[in-house]
Amino acid sequence: MRIVVLAGGIGGARFLRGLKDALHNRADQAEPQHSITVIGNTGDDITLFGLRVCPDLDTVMYTLGGGINEEQGWGRADETFSVREELKAYGMQPQWFGLGDRDVATHIVRSQMLAAGYPLSAITEALCDRWQPGVRLLPMTDDQVETHVLVADGSGRRAIHFQEWWVRHRAQIPAESFVSVGADSATPAPGVLEAVEEADFVLLPPSNPVVSIGSILGIPGIRDAVAAKTVVGVSPIIGGAPVRGMADACLRAIGVETSARAVAEHYGPELLDGWLVDEADAGVVVEGVEVRALPLYMSDPERTAAIARAAVELAVELGERS
């Protein structure tokens, strides 16, 4: 099978690890090989201290490559923070984004390659040469697209970078809207549309539907290509609350209820064919979308693989039907 997965950070990365496990453990192993192409969100990329940071791509790469800080879900294992301490001693801003030393090296490599003229897709491939994530990891675009957040608080109404809203303010300042700066004129990275077109189906992990999956679908051409395929999503909302992260604050900003049903309706039946919800949401009905309920907490590798397996099975089933 050829599978395409649109992925944000932690949720997407863990789902992908489960998917790799599920594909290798399938009973019908007779089938030769399954390829996974990941289209990663780059909307929350940011330039810090002159270094280009791609949090979601790196979380996928580190998680699948065995370098992730497991407890935290992002950043490197066995990390040190000398650079951060020193930048603070120099009074450098911002101090709310804590770059670890091992992580900094990744950004140094990326920034140097960018300065040398390489596109992000080629750089991501080069970084993956080391990490061997076992998937083909593509950025959604080689163009610079950054999610900014329109907020209003005591300091007035202003747009701030998504990371400032998310990391510095913990999404606690109400967001009025999200702007994907640069998306209008961006084009999908080389290989993205081809991978979708050749895919047997597309999976949406329980990533943030607004600022992760939403950013990817916002690159002109990607939504249409994906909509033409069998698409199965995994709900990031269980019983009215995000599985992790602060997706509720994002959904609120775009006027979508924090529920498994509302997120599926937000994706819409023209995009979505199948939808996995947690047992807590069993009975949810989404018009035009096949809904299945099963335990959705990715609490351990086995559970996560079971979720991925259910997504694959539903996609195969829906694909055979159509």
- Stretch of residues binding a second copy (CB under 8 A), selected from 44-52, 150-158, 223-231, 263-271: 44-52
Task: Choose which of 66, 72, 96, 108 interacts with a second copy (CB under 8 A).
Answer: 108
- Does residue 89 interact with a second copy by CB under 8 A? yes
Two tokens, residue 107: 């950004």
Closest CA to 209 of 175, 174, 249: 249
Please identify, using beta-carbon distances, which residue of 86 and 184 lies nearer to a second copy.
Answer: 86
Q: Which residues pair with 160 in a beta bridge?
A: 149
Taking CB under 8 A as the rule, does residue 111 contact a second copy?
yes
State in angstroms the smallest separation of the CB of 157 from a second copy. Answer: 28
Q: Work out which of 17, 20, 102, 229 binds a second copy, going by CB under 8 A.
A: 102
102 and 79 Cβ atoms separated by less than 8 Å: yes
C-alpha span between 237 and 258 (Å, rounded): 7
50 binds a second copy (CB under 8 A): yes
Cβ proximity to a second copy: between 93 and 172 the closer is 93
* Termini Cα distance of the chain: 17
Site for a second copy contains 79 (CB under 8 A): yes
Can you state the percent helix, strand and coil of the chain, rounding each to 5? 40, 20, 40
Contact call for residue 101 and a second copy (CB under 8 A):
yes
CB 126 within 8 A of CB 113: yes
Q: Which is nearer to a second copy, 50 or 154 (CB)?
A: 50
**CB-CB contact of 126 with 139 (8 Å):** no
Task: Round to whole Å and give the CA distance between 19 and 23.
Answer: 6
117 lies in the binding site for a second copy (CB under 8 A): no
- Does 228 sit near a second copy (CB under 8 A)? no
Q: Is 318 in the site for a second copy (CB under 8 A)?
A: no
| 83 contacts a second copy (rule: CB under 8 A) | yes
Q: H helices of the chain, where?
A: 10-24, 55-65, 82-89, 101-115, 120-131, 162-163, 192-198, 213-217, 222-227, 247-253, 260-267, 301-321
Q: Is 109 in the site for a second copy (CB under 8 A)?
A: yes
Q: Which stretch binds a second copy (CB under 8 A): 12-20, 21-29, 98-106, 147-155?
A: 98-106
Query: With respect to a second copy, which residue has the nearer C-beta, 31 or 78?
Result: 78
Q: Give the C-alpha separation, 204 to 231, whole Å.
A: 7
Q: Is 91 in the site for a second copy (CB under 8 A)?
A: yes
Cα–Cα distance for residue pair 202/230, rounded to 1 Å: 6
Q: Which stretch binds a second copy (CB under 8 A): 30-38, 43-51, 260-268, 284-292?
A: 43-51
Residue ranges in contact with a second copy by CB under 8 A? 49-51, 79-80, 82-87, 89-92, 100-102, 104-106, 108-109, 111-112, 115, 127, 130
